Amino acid sequence: MNRSLFFIFLLFPPCLFRQAEVFGQADTAKLTLVYESAMHLTEAQTDSIGYYADYVNHFYLKGQYPKAKMMALRLYGYYYENKADYKKAVDYYLQTLDEARKDTNIDFQVNSLTDLAFVYTEMKQSQKAKEVYLECVKLNQQLGDAGSLINSYTNLGAIYNHVGLYDSARHFLEEGLRIGKLPENDGRKDLSNLYNNLGNTYYFLKQYDKALVYFRNNYDHDFSGNKPEKKDDLWFDEVNMTDCYSEKGTFDSAAKYGNLSLQLSLQLGSMSKQSYTYKILSQLAHHRGDDKRAWEYQGKWYELDTAIVNSETYKAIAELEEKYEARERENEKLLLQGEVAQQKFHTRIMMIVLISVLLLAITAALAFMAKRKVNKKLQATNDLVMRQNERLYELNYEKNSLISIVSHDLSTPFASIGMWSQLLQTGQDNLTAEQKKALSRIEQATNYGEKLIRHILDVEKAETNQHKLSLENLDLRIFTESIVEDFLPAAARKNIRLHLDCAHKSLYFLSDRQLLSRMLENLLSNAIKYTTAGKQVWISVSEEKDAVSIKIRDEGVGIEPDELPHLFSKYSKISSQPTNGEPSTGLGLAIVKRIVEELNGEISCESSVGKGSVFTVVLKK
């Protein structure tokens, strides 16, 4: 049994639901305690949060405590937030906000708005998070709660820093600081988080002296306390000051705090902190012109970072094994339950058969037994199919996990090769022509290997739907022009002319910039790759009734008719070859098809051998 669930049943046994008929002031306080306890549970106790939500919702359904509805809705939102089901979480938080507005309960409005802002931030929807935090500020101003108002200003500053609007971030953070420094609030509120965000704002604005004021304030506060639990914060303060002094050019001070942060990271025994400290020290040495020391620190950073990656890999494998064993135990439990149920079923059937023999005679009994035999055979067949399906699902899951782990580990040696290649390139003046040529081939092979690994990961993650759409209103003409400009050098090397045809001066379309860019880049790269030197490639963008159409036409080698049905399959290889010996993995068009489907569109291809191909993408508005 889940340990957290066991604890809850001890506190709130099922009989409490029957006792709900008598609901007084003491029960109201108990229900509030249940709600507040649930809101402090962690992600590891998600199942317990769901139980609490059902428990609180029970009292609302009984009509005994109207406020219980808001409590239950917020708990359901928190439950789905911890399960990373952000769509349902947002739905429940919006229902909570609606109920709080009906009840004119400002405290609950602030809580639900803060919950919404956090989920929007997790969904990378910074604009929505910003709008919600602004509404939180207005409500906190009505409440007159200085602590909550300062938190809202701090959150707003962090959001504006994240989107690069540093002046706006500074405005809200300084307003929060002003409130925190008022005589009636002085010393009652920990402003370290606000100071840190203000320091980051001035750092991004390259006003390092002002940034250091806030970083040093946090450092002095954490250093003077000399508490073990403050050592993590102290390390963070020292790293911030090292980075700031380094960018400012005050290298002696930067070295002082850099060495302090390194010593503290060693005391804490944190590999991640040591790795990041060496990274900052490497940057400092580089700024000072001490490339030898920079290289030493970079090597230690790389060594620790690699160890952390390997540790996380082993941890992931252990988790996979634990999940597999847990699944096996669950299957055994289900099998045992099935055998018990089947045994009960057989007992009932035998009783019916005996009664039937007495009442309906031998013929009816034989007919019944024959029918039971057929049912048992069908049940056995169904059980076999279900077990095979479960096994296939497990094997497919393990295969995807292994591919992700192996591909991630393969990227480490490629990164090492790339780093050494860059180091050798810095001394090219001392190399012979043959050595330079070999170095160039090493770099090309490294880039191709990394690209192949990324493609494998992209294709194998097609069913996991890990990418979160970030929609924005794009001007397709300007967007496509920028993509085409990026490919002009590659086309020029093969003397291929690129043409862009867009009838509209501006053609706006709501879509995900990253996915749309990857789709066009893959299609345009293929068009250049399979087109003979001296030929042409056309890109056209047009608007239809409820969709936009993007066509890429080339004068390339074309595709055999019998290969067109398999063109977008994973790892498919066609007989057509690139015209200049370019590498091809057979993954690009599979990725394109996945992206098009994710964008709610369709892709098709028309081709003639020796004449060229036309790829048409239709995206619904």
Q: What is the DSSP string of 513-561?
A: HHHHHHHHHHHHHHHHHTB-TT-EEEEEEEE-SSEEEEEEEE-B----G
Statement to judge: residues 368 and 478 lie in one domain: no
Give the CATH number for residue 232: 1.25.40.10
Report pLDDT for 214.
86
More confident residue, 28 or 204: 204
Hey, which of 279-283, 401-405, 537-541 has the most confident mean pLDDT? 537-541
Query: Which of the four pLDDT bands, split at 50, 70 and 90, describes residue 288?
Result: confident
Point out the domain boundary residue: 198, 228, 245.
245
Q: Is residue 344 part of a domain?
A: yes
- 415 pLDDT above the threshold of 50: yes
Sheet holding 536-543, edge to edge: 497-502, 536-543, 547-554, 612-620, 601-608
Q: Which of 139-148, 149-158, 259-268, 287-296 has the lowest mean pLDDT?
A: 139-148
Statement to judge: residues 445 and 476 lie in one domain: no
Statement to judge: residues 494 and 588 lie in one domain: yes
CB crowding 478-510: b at 16 or more within 10 Å, else e: ebbeebbeebeeebeebebebeeebeeeebebe
Q: Is residue 321 part of a domain?
A: yes
Report pLDDT for 550.
95
Statement to judge: residues 503 and 581 lie in one domain: yes
Three-state DSSP class for 497? strand
- 379 pLDDT above the threshold of 80: yes
Is the distance from CB of 251 to CB of 245 less than 8 angstroms?
yes
For CA atoms 483, 488, 493, 495, give the dihedral sign.
positive
Query: Which of the four pLDDT bands, split at 50, 70 and 90, describes residue 464?
Result: very low
Sorted by sequence, the CB contacts under 8 Å of residue 120 that are 6+ apart come out as 90, 126, 128, 129, 132
Q: What percent of the chain has pLDDT over 70?
A: 79
Two structure tokens written together for 444: 């090309």
Average pLDDT, the chain: 79
d(CA 56, CA 35): 7
Q: Is residue 267 part of a domain?
A: no
Report pLDDT for 160.
84
Point out the domain boundary residue: 217, 245, 273.
245
- 171 pLDDT above the threshold of 80: yes
Report pLDDT for 485.
92
More confident residue, 474 or 381: 474
d(CA 331, CA 384): 14
Report pLDDT for 585.
63
d(CA 279, CA 300): 9
Report pLDDT for 14.
38
d(CA 409, CA 526): 29
Two structure tokens written together for 159: 């959001």
* Domains identified in the chain, total number: 3
Statement to judge: residues 78 and 40 lie in one domain: yes
- What's the CA angle centered on 482, arms 480 and 485, to 5 degrees? 110
Statement to judge: residues 525 and 423 lie in one domain: no
Q: Supply the range of the domain harboring residue 69.
A: 3-245
CB atoms within 10 A of CB 607: 22
Query: Which of the four pLDDT bands, split at 50, 70 and 90, describes residue 401?
Result: low
Q: Is residue 10 part of a domain?
A: yes
How do residues 134-159 score in pLDDT, each as one tens digit?
A: 888 888 777 777 777 888 888 888 88
Point out the domain boundary residue: 245, 277, 297.
245
How do residues 181-200 score in pLDDT, each as one tens digit?
A: 777 766 556 788 888 888 88
Kindly give the interhelix angle for 166-180 and 146-163, rounded to the nearest 10 degrees.
160
Region 504-513 average pLDDT = 86
Report pLDDT for 344.
77
Report pLDDT for 351.
84
* H or E stretch covering 606: strand 601-608
Query: Which of the four pLDDT bands, split at 50, 70 and 90, describes residue 573?
Result: low
Bridge partners, residue 606, by sequence: 614
Statement to judge: residues 231 and 377 lie in one domain: no
Region 287-316 average pLDDT = 74
- 368 pLDDT above the threshold of 50: yes
Q: What percent of the chain has pLDDT over 90?
A: 16
**Through-space distance between the first and last CA atoms of the chain, rounded to whole angstroms:** 49
Region 346-373 average pLDDT = 82
Report pLDDT for 416.
61
Query: Which of the four pLDDT bands, split at 50, 70 and 90, describes residue 13?
Result: very low
Statement to judge: residues 204 and 66 lie in one domain: yes
Query: Which of the four pLDDT bands, split at 50, 70 and 90, describes residue 533?
Result: very high
Query: Which of the four pLDDT bands, split at 50, 70 and 90, describes residue 460?
Result: low
Query: Which of the four pLDDT bands, split at 50, 70 and 90, describes residue 2?
Result: very low
Statement to judge: residues 360 and 475 lie in one domain: no
- 50 pLDDT above the threshold of 70: yes
Q: Is residue 268 part of a domain?
A: no
- 369 pLDDT above the threshold of 80: yes
Report pLDDT for 19.
39
Q: Is residue 287 part of a domain?
A: no
Statement to judge: residues 414 and 487 lie in one domain: no
Three-state DSSP class for 601? strand
Q: Is residue 264 part of a domain?
A: no
How do residues 418-438 score in pLDDT, each as one tens digit?
A: 667 777 777 677 778 887 778
Q: Is residue 197 part of a domain?
A: yes
Comparing CA positions, the residue from 336, 368, 367 lying closest to residue 351 is 368
DSSP class of 41: -
Region 192-218 average pLDDT = 87
Bridge partners, residue 617, by sequence: 550, 603
Two structure tokens written together for 490: 């590659």
Statement to judge: residues 475 and 417 lie in one domain: no
Two structure tokens written together for 112: 């639900």
How do residues 68-120 score in pLDDT, each as one tens digit?
A: 888 889 999 999 988 888 889 999 999 988 988 888 888 888 888 888 888 88
The alpha carbon of residue 228 and the mean position of all alpha carbons in its chain are separated, in whole angstroms, by: 33
Report pLDDT for 614.
96
Hey, which of 128-137, 163-172, 518-527 has the most confident mean pLDDT? 518-527
d(CA 9, CA 615): 61
- Find the radius of gyration of the CA atoms of the chain: 32
Is the distance from CB of 528 to CB of 491 less than 8 angstroms?
yes
Hey, which of 28-32, 280-284, 452-456 has the most confident mean pLDDT? 280-284
- 6 pLDDT above the threshold of 50: no
Give the CATH number for residue 611: 3.30.565.10
Region 37-43 average pLDDT = 83
Torsion angles phi and psi, residue 593, rounded to 5: -60, -40
Report pLDDT for 524.
94
Report pLDDT for 602.
94
Three-state DSSP class for 473? strand
Query: Which of the four pLDDT bands, split at 50, 70 and 90, describes residue 490?
Result: confident
- 404 pLDDT above the threshold of 60: no
More confident residue, 385 or 225: 385
Statement to judge: residues 402 and 369 lie in one domain: yes
